[in-house]
Structure 1
Amino acid sequence: MTVAVETGTWQLDPSASTVALRHRTMWGLVTVKGAFTAISGGGEVSPDGSATGTVTLDAASLDTKHAKRDKHLRSADFFDTDQHPEITFAVRGADRLDADGVRVTGQLTVRGVSRPQELTARLVSADAGGLTLETEFTVDRDQFGMGWNQLGMMRGLTTVTAALRFTRAGS
């Protein structure tokens, strides 16, 4: 990643991290927003600067502040959390783009369907206490078997935003 990031093992700090999504619905008139309340993960930065790791979301922890909608999102129409309780992003590599930009390549798995995913993250802080990466990227939910779309209400891509704080493992 960047020279400011030390080699070694890093652990995600769930209390200082967020993963959220937003999607336009009701024919583009309403934006549904939600956040995952249970996230975990970790990674390793090798001496050559390469990075690998995993971020895991408890799919049932998605909270949109609307209980009926959240129950529907957990159903087989969407995340099917009974059969697929986790969403994972497995980082296969990370390349420095500039002083704070990082291109991250990996595999996103939702509902048991895995697809390659590339995104750009920004290193917003790196100090002795840890490092924080922020990113925003889009996902086509149809590619993950979430094609439910009553009366054509849901169109377009889902936007995922994340702010992930990592600390040295064991610290």
Structure 2
Amino acid sequence: MTVAVETGTWQLDSTTSTVAVRHKTFWGLVTVKGTFAAVTGNGEVRPDGSAVGTITLDAASLDTRNAKRDEHLRSADFLDAAHHPEITFAVRSAELRDGDGVHVVGQLTVRGISRPSSFTGRLVGADDGSLTLDAEFSVDREHFGMSWNQLGMMRGLTTIATTLRFTRTAAA
């Protein structure tokens, strides 16, 4: 799909957008999966076709369908949601490339620690009123101060999978 996305401001539709995480644990035998229930964001498509914006997750809204595990993931061992209630991804540049590929460059901030991040997503739908971007990328949780690893059970990278639907904001 080759689409020219309309310039202007766009708002994340939090009711149809998802941000999910996957991480192997128990020495790679079990994959823990979860989603963030509270996701907000906005963006701007510039006249040159590039985009900037911000996605914000409520760290305490992570749900893995296991209350005890969720409490631990929100604790200081992991997300430290009490002291760092938001996880943000500040998009410095998003450019449509190779048909439906979207190259994204930004800064991920977790637990107050910011790191550069880039990945390629896919524009899976776009019209004059909405656009949807799917992306999957991996992060090293230790880069964000999450080094808890009892008995070496949790190794490797955490995978983030997103489907982000934006709607065009009416001009003022």
Instruction: Please tell me the TM-score bracket, short chain as reference.
Output: over 0.9
Give the conservation status (yes or no) of the 8 Å contact 2:94–2:103: yes
Read off the aligned partner of 1:120 and give its amino acid letter: T
Read off the aligned partner of 1:100 and give its amino acid letter: D
Name the structure 1 match of 2:11.
11
Residue 37 (structure 2) pairs with residue 42 (structure 1): no
Name the structure 1 match of 2:83.
83
Deviation at 1:3, TM superposition (A): 4.3
Q: How many residues align?
A: 170
Name the structure 1 match of 2:154.
154
Read off the aligned partner of 1:125 and give its amino acid letter: G
Name the structure 1 match of 2:124.
124
Name the structure 1 match of 2:107.
107
The DSSP-based 3-state class of the residue aligned with 1:82 is coil
For residues 164 and 5 of structure 2, the distance between their equivalents in structure 1, rounded to whole angstroms, comes to 14
What is the aligned-residue identity percentage? 71
Deviates most, 71-80 or 120-129: 120-129
Deviation at 1:4, TM superposition (A): 2.4
Deviation at 1:95, TM superposition (A): 2.1
For residues 88 and 4 of structure 1, the distance between their equivalents in structure 2, rounded to whole angstroms, comes to 27
TM-score norm. by structure 1 comes to 0.97
Read off the aligned partner of 1:153 and give its amino acid letter: M
The DSSP-based 3-state class of the residue aligned with 2:15 is helix
Name the structure 2 match of 1:31.
31
The runs of 4+ residues in structure 1 deviating greater than 4 Å are none
For residues 165 and 96 of structure 1, the distance between their equivalents in structure 2, rounded to whole angstroms, comes to 16
Deviation at 1:129, TM superposition (A): 3.0
How far does the alpha carbon of each residue in 1:27-84 deviate from its partner, in whole angstroms, 9 at most, with x for none? 0010000000000000000111121000000000000000000000000000000000
**Unmatched segments (≥5 aa) in structure 1:** none
For residues 157 and 60 of structure 2, the distance between their equivalents in structure 1, rounded to whole angstroms, comes to 21
Read off the aligned partner of 1:69 and give its amino acid letter: R
For residues 96 and 7 of structure 1, the distance between their equivalents in structure 2, rounded to whole angstroms, comes to 13
Read off the aligned partner of 1:122 and give its amino acid letter: R
Deviates most, 90-99 or 4-13: 90-99
For residues 125 and 4 of structure 1, the distance between their equivalents in structure 2, rounded to whole angstroms, comes to 11
Deviation at 1:169, TM superposition (A): 1.4
